[in-house]
């Protein structure tokens, strides 16, 4: 659930939000490293009003399945494109401490507030 090759490892959705970066689901081939295989697809995730980390994670699961099914079809047809990752590119992340997770959760709320304020018609409180 991260943007490869930038985010590898565990809790990368949370780390992406914590750092204020793009969130989404990447699909890659498994190799001997941690999320270092060839990248097949990336699908960005939108954060919507009322979303929490749990909501965003729940949105990611069916997308992950769809990406895998699409990749299987591409393998069968021989049309699957693979993008190799450069050695040393990106950073590996580990389990996020609950306090940092709370900061990531707040970042979702702040992001949604800024979006809401940007689209609110003038004169509306």
Q: Which domains does the chain have, with CATH numbers?
A: 7-119 (3.40.50.170)
pLDDT (average), residues 38-48 = 92
Instruction: For residue 96, give the DSSP letter.
Output: P
pLDDT surpasses 80 at 115: no
Task: Convert the pLDDT of each residue in 98-114 to its tens digit.
Answer: 999 999 888 888 877 77
pLDDT surpasses 70 at 54: yes
Cβ atoms < 10 Å from Cβ of 24:
21
Q: If pLDDT is split at 50, 70 and 90, which confidence band does 121 have? A: low
pLDDT surpasses 60 at 124: no
Under 8 Å between Cβ of 38 and 82: yes
pLDDT (average), residues 82-99 = 92
The pair of structure tokens assigned to 91 is 């950073």
């Amino acid at each position: 659930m991260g943007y490869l090759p930038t985010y590898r490892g565990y809790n990368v959705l949370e780390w992406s939000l914590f750092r204020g970066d793009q969130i989404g689901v990447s699909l890659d081939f498994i190799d001997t490293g941690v999320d270092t295989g060839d990248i097949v697809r990336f699908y960005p995730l939108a954060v919507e009003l009322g979303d929490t980390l749990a909501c965003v994670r729940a949105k990611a699961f069916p997308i992950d399945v769809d990406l895998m099914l699409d990749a299987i079809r591409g393998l069968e047809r021989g049309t699957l494109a693979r993008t190799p990752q450069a050695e040393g590119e990106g950073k590996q992340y580990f389990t996020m401490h609950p306090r940092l997770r709370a900061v990531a959760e707040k970042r979702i709320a702040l992001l949604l507030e800024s979006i809401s304020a940007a689209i609110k018609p003038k004169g509306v409180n």
